[in-house]
Amino acid sequence: MGSRASRDAGADSATVVISQKVRADRVEEYRRWQDRTNEAARAFAGFEGAEVYSPETGEENAWVAVFRFSGVDHLTAWLNSRRRQELLAEGQELFEGPPTQEVLRGGAAPERAPEAITAVISHEVRPGQEQRFLRWQAKTLKAQEKAPGFMGSELFKPVQGVQGVQERWVVVFRFDTREHLDAWLASDVRAELLEEGRNCFASYDVRKVGSAFSGWFRFGEGAQGRAPPNWKQAMSVLLALYPTVMVLNLTEGAELNGVGVPGYIGLFIGNMLSVSALTWLLMPLVNKALAFWLVPARACGRRVDLVGAAVVVLCYLVTIAVFGLIAP
């Protein structure tokens, strides 16, 4: 997303960001319910993608679901549909309270970046203070652009016609790491800006969403597909990474050492080859072979999680045994 992007009411696409606090003992049920909800949304006209993000540190088990449609009318049809109301009734006991929901009209689907994290901040702007809020937001963006790791920001105006009136102004911005985002949110500069802005908005709400290794995991609706949990991603990457590094050490590494290439140059070449092999060859194969375990819509239940993890660990042991026999 652009660092100075803002979308007006004439833009076409529409996104809803829904934050819900899930009861601690109902998380697995929630996952299954959310997968059914995502599948139901896919059947509606204009559906472009859905993503679900697990709670960030300190977010009190608040899960974030994002649905994107090609227009506000299509999004409204989904939000007001009988099927969605049925699903909301089914899942009512899974949550600690009512959801927080923001509708964003316009904006491009952002390219994912490994470890990038997004903050969604909604503001209740005081009546008659809209222009003052816009000037304050522009000043905030200028300060934000100087913060380490800042990747971009978009401002979304209130949306008419979505279950009544979407009265809140929403700012969405991204940082390259969670540490950089947290540093900005806790900074003295932002604290001073918030104090200055209290004259034009009555309240604000902050939610964070993010996912790791996302460039290696694509499921469902292209880049909009929901990524597997981070622990599954890490196990899968290790499954492909270990044999890749071992093969390169036994072949390319030995050859480069034999012709006197410095170690730091050889390491760079090895890293370049291993990342290329992972991205374009091995990770697509791993994703396909372990789809029953990695694809969130298919990996329902603890039994599937355990079976998949056992398969990956068995593969670890086999590769270790093989290289133990052939390595010098």
What DSSP assignment string belongs to 304-322? Answer: HHHHHHHHHHHHHHHHHHH
Compute the residue count for the chain: 328
Cα dist. 150→136, 162, 172, 180, 181 in Å?
18, 31, 12, 8, 8
Name the band, by pLDDT with cuts 50, 70 and 90, for residue 56. low
* pLDDT at residue number 52: 81
Contact 67, 221 (CB under 8 A): no
Per CATH, is 5-216 categorized as 3.60.20.10? no
* pLDDT at residue number 50: 83
Cα dist. 70→44, 49, 75, 107, 115 in Å?
11, 10, 8, 11, 27
Contact 232, 295 (CB under 8 A): no
Q: Is the pLDDT confidence value at 5 over 60?
A: no
> For 240-298, how does the pLDDT look when each residue is reduced to its tens digit (9 = 90+)?
998 988 888 888 766 776 677 777 787 788 888 888 888 888 888 888 888 888 876 56
Q: Which residue ranges make up each domain of the chain?
A: 5-216, 228-326
Please indicate, yes or no, whether the overall pTM of this predicted structure exceeds 0.75: no
Q: Is the pLDDT confidence value at 110 over 50?
A: no
> For 122-164, how does the pLDDT look when each residue is reduced to its tens digit (9 = 90+)?
888 888 888 998 999 899 989 988 988 887 777 777 766 554 4
Cα dist. 313→112, 122, 235 in Å?
29, 43, 9
The percentage of residues in the chain with a pLDDT greater than 90, rounded to a whole number, is 15
